[in-house]
Amino acid sequence: MESNQTPKKRVFSAIQPSGMLTLGNYLGALKNWVSLQESYDCIYSVADLHAITARQEPALLRKQVTETFALLLAVGINPEKAAVFVQSHVPAHAELAWVLSCFTQFGELGRMTQFKDKSIRHADNINAGLFSYPCLMAADILLYRADYVPVGEDQRQHLELSRDIAVRVNGLYNDAFTVPDALIPKIGARVMSLQDPQKKMSKSDPNAGAWVALLDKPDDIRRKFRRAVTDSGSEVHVAQGKDGVNNLIGIYAALTGKSVPEIEREFDGRGYGDFKAAVGEAVVEALTPVQERFARLIADKAGLERLMAEGAEAAGKIAGRVLAKVYRKIGLR
């Protein structure tokens, strides 16, 4: 009997295993990933091939890949609802990246702001992989015929290039790829540093008080929020120039589901001290179950390896079909 159900639109997204994931990763991406799996056909990846554009210590990289995979499951991504896998476990990513690099112009890659930024930060290691990174990112997306890609504003340029490559190849070979669109979350999309709220929260920040790791201890989380930068005022409300308070309100809203007016009423006349303590408690409350699930997952190494293998198999079936189609279209056997 044929189903009358309309197939779900497909979403692809990936995250690098470049150290401990932060509250910014959770509110800016992962929390949204969890919601998306209820409405879309979702495919999520730990992008370990992307990580090696910077020099990595092998044992540490393997540990970070495993922990990142476990954290994706711990935050609520369900392998029965979404395919979750490690990028390097599906060789089609590297294979399609080479093909796409042959359809990408040198000038297009040279204009990528992330390449320019990383070239400055890693001036001793400006390698070809760093330059052609967007071709691998395009392969990640196009291999799965993704309809949508959840991205922050800082990744829009890479997605636009992926779209340009897909359109270019489709123009030459007719319907090789689905051209993806962006999904940009409205709340919690950009979590800022707790010590310099004009900068995005980043685990590379040398000031450990500026960012919250998903596995930080509750008392450490509370302390970081008590010391979070605000401004010289005391009123909890969104306003121009109040970057610190605006950031904390955004975090609190994303975790509690409350609107900005509700938050402003809740803390009317109570001052920054009460508000920062409440935000810290909301973060602890949200991350405690994540940490408990992570501890159970990471303790079961065999179980994690089985889930990795199952995810790679599921993703590999889709990727293999798309890669074979592309090979046929461009004349490879």
Q: Are 49 and 65 in contact (CB under 8 A)?
A: no
Is the pLDDT at 314 greater than 60? The verdict is yes
* Neighbour-count burial of 56, counting CB atoms closer than 10 A to its CB (0-12 exposed, 13-18 middle, 19+ buried): middle
Pick the CATH number of 10-189+301-330 from 1.50.10.20, 1.10.357.10, 3.30.450.20, 3.40.50.620: 3.40.50.620
Separation between Cα atoms, residue 48 and residue 103, nearest integer Å: 24
Is the pLDDT at 153 greater than 70? The verdict is no
- Extract the tokens encoding 296: 């159970």
Residue of higher predicted confidence among 19 and 220: 220
What was the pLDDT predicted at 2? 45
Give per-residue pLDDT as tens, 196-228: 998 989 888 889 899 999 999 999 999 999 999
Number of residues that this document lists for the chain = 333
pTM: 0.90
Domain segments of the chain as ranges? 10-189+301-330, 208-295
- Half-sphere exposure at residue 42, Cβ-oriented, CA atoms within 13 angstroms: 24
What was the pLDDT predicted at 1? 38
Is the pLDDT at 140 greater than 50? The verdict is yes
Is the pLDDT at 124 greater than 70? The verdict is yes
Which sequence positions are flagged as catalytic?
118, 200, 203
Label residues 299-324 b or e (16+ Cβ within 10 Å = b): eeeeebeebbeebbebbbebbeebbe
The fraction of the chain above a pLDDT of 70, given in percent, is 95
Assign a CATH topology to domain 208-295: Tyrosyl-Transfer RNA Synthetase (1.10.240)
Other beta carbons less than 10 A from residue 291's beta carbon: 16
**43: confidence class by pLDDT, cuts 50, 70, 90:** very high
Q: Mean per-residue pLDDT for 305-311?
A: 97
- Half-sphere exposure at residue 275, Cβ-oriented, CA atoms within 13 angstroms: 28
Task: Write phi, then psi, for 122 (nearest 5 degrees).
Answer: -120, 55
Give per-residue pLDDT as tens, 318-333: 999 999 999 999 999 8
**154: confidence class by pLDDT, cuts 50, 70, 90:** low
Is the pLDDT at 123 greater than 80? The verdict is no
Q: Mean per-residue pLDDT for 161-188?
A: 88
